[in-house]
Amino acid sequence: MTQPKTQLDLDLLSINTIRTLAIDAVQQANSGHPGAPMGLAPVVYSLWQRFLRYDPMDPTWPNRDRFVLSAGHASMLLYATLHLAGVRAADASGRVSSDLAVPMEEIKRFRQIDSRTPGHPESHLTTGVETTSGPLGQGAGNSVGMAIASKWLAENFNRPGFDIFNFNVYTICGDGDLMEGVACEAASLAGHLKLSNLCWIYDNNRVTLDGPAEWSFSEDVMTRFVGYGWNVTRVSDANDLNWLARGYETFLKTKDRPTLIVVDSHIGYGSPHKQDSSDAHGEPLGEAEVKLVKKNYGWPEDAKFLVPDGVYDQFKNGVGKRGAEARAAWKAKFEEYKKQFPELADQLCRMQTGKLPDGWDKDLPSFPADAKGMATRDSSGKTLNVLAKNIPWLIGGSADLAHSNKTNLTFDGAGDFYADQYGGRNLHFGVREHAMGAIVNGMTLSKLRAFSATFFNFSDYMRPSMRLGALMEIPAIYIFTHDSIGLGEDGPTHQPIEQLASLRAMPNMLILRPGDANEVVEAYKVILQHTHGPVSLVLTRQAIPTFDRTKYAPASGVAKGAYVLADTPGGKPDVILMASGSELSLCVDAYEKLKTEGIKARVVSMPSWELFERQETSYKDSVLPANVTARVSVEMASTFGWERYVGARGKMIGMHSFGASAPLKDVKKKFGFEADRVVAAAKEVLGK
C-alpha cells in the first residue's frame, strides 16, 4: 500500500480499515452483515474522531457521550471502531484494566462461541457497547432514556461553575429502526420533551433485508420527525466528511429540540458490483467479491485483518487525545466538586457503583391486620413514596396510568419531569408502553434506579424491552397493577391470564407477586437490593386482606421467594395449599375451615418462584416436604408451570380460558376462586 500523505488520506485509510475489518470478520465467520459497516464507516469515523467526548482509556467515565448502535446487525462497525480506538475493558464492577475491550483475536472470533463479538452487540459482554441492540428500534428507545438521564442528572447535580453532567447521546438507526413502533413512540416523546442532547443518525440507504425499501416503506421520514418536534438536517453523501461534520455541528448548536441527521448512503458502498443491491446487507460477500472490494479501496487483495501503519495513531491522536483531555478536566472539576458538595458527590459515587444511600429503608410502612385490607397497588404506592424520598435517584412513571398504578411520587420536592423542567421525579410516558420499557432500560444503563408502570396485561406491549433488560442483567423495575381477572368489569381484553407464566419463562427476570400489604414492603426491600437483572412487581387492583402477623408467619419470608405462612401444630401437614398474590387469602380461609374439620393443612405463600429456586435444597424441602404429595395451587392465571410444585397427585386451581366482564364477586364465582373450592380440592387430593 502507498503511504498516506495528507490528513484526508489518513482519514480515508482509517475508514477503509473499519470497512475491511468488517468485511474480513464477516467473511471468516461466514455469517453477518458487511453492507451497513461499509456504508456507515465514514459516518461513525467522523463522529468518533471529531465530536464524541469519549475516553477510550476510561469507558465508564460518567459524563462520556453515549454512542448507541440501534442498527445492531452492523455490529462489526462498532467492534472495529472500539478496537481501533483502543477502548479498554472494564469488569462487572466497572474497574478498567489495561486489556483491550475488543482485541484483534476477538474480531477474528466474530459470531463464535463465547467471543466478545456476538452477532448483535451485548452490553454485559463487551465494554464500550452501551446497550444490547439488535431487535430494531430498541437502541433508539434506550437512547431516549439515556438523554432523559443526562438532563435529569444535570438538573439535580450540576451547580454554578460545575457542569458535572452534560453528555450527549448519538444513535445510528436505519429504515428498519424507524419502521418499528418502539422507535416511533420514543421519538414522539423525545420531541415532546425537547431533548436537545439527543442525536439520531438515520442511515437512509433505501434497502431492507427483503429488498428495496420502497417495497414496504415510502413515507417522508423528515416530515414525520419535523412533526415530532425534532430538528432535521440532511447529509446527501455519507462519504463527505465535511458535510458529516456540518451535520454534527448543527446538532451541537441546536439547544431546543433533538436532532435527526438523515445520511444518504449506499449499502456496501465501495463495492463496484454490490453498491445498490441488498445482497451485501445480510450475508458475506464471498472471496471473489472481497478481493474486488479491496482492490476498489486500494487495499492488498490477499491481506486479512490488516491495520495499516498510522491508523492506530490516527485514532489515538483523535478521539484518544480529545477524550483524555475532556476526562482529565472533568476529573479535576469533580475533585473540587467533592470538596464543595460532599453530599451530592457521595450520592453520585453510590449511584455509579450501584450502592444505596444510608437509611434507604427507613420509615417504611407496616400495615396492621385488616380483614378488608387494601389493594397491593395501594400499599405499593405508599412504600414507593417512602423509598423514593430515601433514594434520591429512584425515578420513574407510568404509561398514562399513574393514578391507577399508584406510582405518583407525592412527597415534598418530588416534582415532575417536563420539557425544559428536567429535575422532577415523576415521568409521564403517555400511552407508549413499548417505548417506556426501552426508555427505562436506557435510564437504568445510565445508573438511575428507574421504574415503569402499567396494567399487567400490557406487559405484552413492553415484552421486547423487558427481555432485553433481562439479557443485559440490568436492575430495571417494571411495576404492573390490575394483575388478574380480579380487576372485574374491564373484562378479558384487560385481564391477564398467560402473562405470569410467560414472564416466569424468561431467564434473569425476577417476578414478585406479593400476597398482602406487608409482603409488598418486603418485596420492595428485595427489589432495591437486587442489582443483577430486572424485576417485575405484580400487584392487585382489588383490596385483599392484610394478615395478622402475630397469628401467621412474618412477611420477611418473601426474601426467600416462598415461605410457610400458616401451619399445623407440630409442622407435619397432610395437605399443602399454595398461592401467590391475592389468592393467598383464599388458601388461608380454606386452611381455617379445614382446621375446624380436623384436617392438618399448611399454607405456603409463593410470591417469587425465582427466589425460591435459588434457596438451599434443605430450605426448599422444609417448605415443601417431599413426603406431602397432597398439594393444591391457587392462582387467578394460567396454571402452566405449577406442575413442578403440585406434583403428579396435586391439583391446580387456575384459569384455562380468558376472563369475563362482570363485577369482581361474579367473576370469582364464575371461575371458582372461592375458599370452598380450595377446601374441596384439598379433600380431593387427600382422597376424602
CA–CA dist 647, 630 (Å, integer): 9
Q: Can you tell me whether residue 334 is helix, strand or coil?
A: helix
CA–CA dist 153, 639 (Å, integer): 44
The residue annotated as part of the active site, out of 433, 519, 583, 635, is 433
CA–CA dist 598, 605 (Å, integer): 22
At residue 453, φ and ψ (nearest 5 deg) are -155, 145
CA–CA dist 312, 105 (Å, integer): 16
Provide the grid cell at 103.
482485541
The answer for residues whose C-beta is within 8 angstroms of residue 497's C-beta and 6 or more apart is: 485, 637, 638, 655, 657, 658, 659
**How much is the CA Rg of the chain, to the nearest whole Å?**
28
At residue 626, φ and ψ (nearest 5 deg) are -60, -30
**580: which strand partners?**
none
Question: In terms of DSSP bridges, do strands 544-546 and 370-374 run parallel, antiparallel, or are they unpaired?
Answer: antiparallel
At residue 588, φ and ψ (nearest 5 deg) are -65, -45
Q: Are 254 and 192 in contact (CB under 8 A)?
A: no
C-beta neighbour count of 324 within 10 angstroms = 15
DSSP structure class, residue 202? E
Active site residue 610: no
DSSP structure class, residue 360? T
Taking the CA atoms of residue 505, residue 510, residue 513 and residue 516 in that order, the dihedral angle to the nearest 10 degrees is 160
Q: Which of 302, 456, 285 is nearest to 377 (CA)?
A: 456
Residue in this structure with the C-alpha cell 483502543, named with its chain if needed: 86
The answer for residues whose C-beta is within 8 angstroms of residue 237's C-beta and 6 or more apart is: 243, 264
Residue in this structure with the C-alpha cell 400495615, named with its chain if needed: 367
Provide the grid cell at 111.
459470531
| Catalytic annotation, residues | 433
